Amino acid sequence: MIKKLPAKWDETWDVVIVGSGFAGLAAAAEAAGKGAKVVVLEKMPTYGGNSIINGGVYAAWDSKYHYRQKLNLGDDSPRQHVEDTLKGGDFYNIPELVQIMADGAADALNWMIDEGGARVRETVTRAGGHTAYRTHSAVAGVGREYTEALRKIAEKRGAKTALNSEVTWIWRKDADPKSPVLGVQVKRGRRTLNIKAAKALILASGGFSRDIKMRMAHNPRLVPAFGCTNQPGATGEMIRFAQAIGADTLQMNFIQLYPFAEPETSILDTPAVYPFNGPGYGIVYVNKLGKRFVNELERRDVCAFAQINLGANMKPTWSIFNRAMVLKMGGSYEEVDAGLKKGRFIQADSIREMAGKLGIPADALVKTIEDHNRYIEQGKDPDFNKSITKVMIPLVEGPFYSVAQWPAVHHCMGGVRISPTAQVIDVFGAVIPKLYAAGEVAGGVHGSNRLGSNAIPDAVSFGRVAGTNAARERA
């Protein structure tokens, strides 16, 4: 597609960033902090994208609070985080990119706490696919905790955000390896503007889970019948525009389902995070027959397809936990009470009573829970070979809670190809001058399957790299 370059620019900024989620705001904060004149373009009427409704879980081997050490939850390291991420992605990941995420995770979390006022709960959880207790939970229970912190830092440093600003093209003279990106075309209301990026353009526009045609082109099994946890703006056009000016993409067929979404609406609300945070403390997943169907510590794709393989007539499945687990797995009693009022959580004084409320066979559910309690006591799970740890809590004392769950399309692991410096690489393996990318729009970090709670450290770490390097470009 050939488009005539603009004769003039309506606006000029040093660094132009597309997308106002974790990656975009982190990039804006760092670029502005290095003295660049920065604008963040957001096509939606509100800032934050998927990040603001993210589950608020953040994987880092440590933080300034050292909760893992204080709670005696075992050892961890960036190296172990890297190894888990590579294994979780079936080794399709690019190791150098994984290393940047793992190395940057703790520092980025502390940065958001210290400079942005982000708050985390006094626990860490062990999520599916992770071999350590490293997942930190936001006090707000959603990603807004971190987007607000990043927005605060970015604005304090002088970055500006323009809402209702839809990018409709990326300007580049030609695909010659030396030809830099020049800027973007933007639709703002009835106006079409051309905005110059004097130093660099950063893509932080997220994935394409909401574009059914695009996702099915890469993964045909994700038919329209699948719900989606994403906000409506996750439609992938920036990936297509980047391809049009020569950018390479990779692993676009790797699209993740979130196993624990609300079964009817597919939203990822606060109750939907409890099944994810619970496995390290003894939560149990059961089907309509009252039986376990998967190792609860398995990674997301395994948990999702274990449910799908049960058959559509077995929708939904449930997670069962008790009050003693709530605080340890990053929840709060206030959240549970709110979830009960909305009907998202179900409460019972006994497992038998819970079975009646869920309409599943009582004897089967009682046996399943008693067996699981015994496995925790004995330190061995003969049914699913789950790794039992000393902090897991048997479901003996109530009150007991359950939450319904079912898989929904959630995250795109693939995207534009980037270098360790967050620069976009073209189809010939060369860096496209003055073009960067970070977050879900970029591929290669997570491989075939993203481990839960790796999204935020990925986006923030690479957002910081992209913003720092973009600001160093010559205008």
Which residues does the annotation mark as catalytic? 300
Q: Are 63 and 84 in contact (CB under 8 A)?
A: no
Q: Are 317 and 406 in contact (CB under 8 A)?
A: yes
Tokens found for residue 296: 């609860």
Element (H, E) at 344: none
Reduced to 3 states, what is the DSSP secondary structure of residue 423? Answer: strand
Question: Measured between alpha carbons, how far apart are the two ends of the chain, in Å?
Answer: 27
Q: CA 83, 258, 254, 305 torsion: positive or negative?
A: positive
Helices (H), 173-232: 212-218
How many beta carbons lie within 10 A of that of residue 64, not counting itself? 12
Separation of alpha carbons 194 and 181, rounded Å: 13
Separation of alpha carbons 184 and 177, rounded Å: 19
Tokens found for residue 251: 């692993």
How many beta carbons lie within 10 A of that of residue 140, not counting itself? 18
- As a whole number of Å, the CA-based R_g of the chain is 23
How many beta carbons lie within 10 A of that of residue 429, not counting itself? 9
Tokens found for residue 167: 């990018």
